[in-house]
Amino acid sequence: MAVSDEQIAHALDVFGGVGPLTTRKMFGGLGLYSEGRIFAVLMSDGTLRLKGAGPMVKVLDSEGWERWTYTREGSDKVTAMPYWRLPDALLDDPETAADWAHRALAEL
């Protein structure tokens, strides 16, 4: 299932304070970019995730953000991706969401 125009518009609103953004559709979802760097993804199910790297990984984990993990069919191995689900409160708080995005971008 691909993301809808409404979901894309909402993601762009959430991160509107980051500055000029570009997007790229991928795997039914959407990558969000600032100055050519992907910093967030909109998943095909509508979930918005922020990318974490370096010290930001520990920050996101300590804040209790849910990390994106998956298990391949036929395997027991869990793979962790470098993206964390935005807390619901940030979906309605673009200013704070942009602050988090700037913090994440500083580590990418």
For 36-60, the pLDDT digits (tens) are 999 999 998 999 999 999 999 999 9
Q: Which CATH architecture has domain 5-105?
A: 2-Layer Sandwich (3.30)
Q: What CA–CA distances, in Å, run from 23 to 8, 33, 72, 82?
A: 9, 6, 27, 18
Strand duo 67-71 + 78-85: pairing:
antiparallel
Residues paired with 30 in a beta bridge:
25, 42
- Confidence tier at 1 by pLDDT (50, 70, 90): low
pLDDT of residue 31: 96
Chain CA centroid to CA 11, Å: 9
- Calpha distance 99→108 (Å, rounded): 15
Asked if the model's pLDDT at residue 83 lies above 70, the reply is yes
pLDDT of residue 28: 83
Q: What is the mean pLDDT of the chain?
A: 94
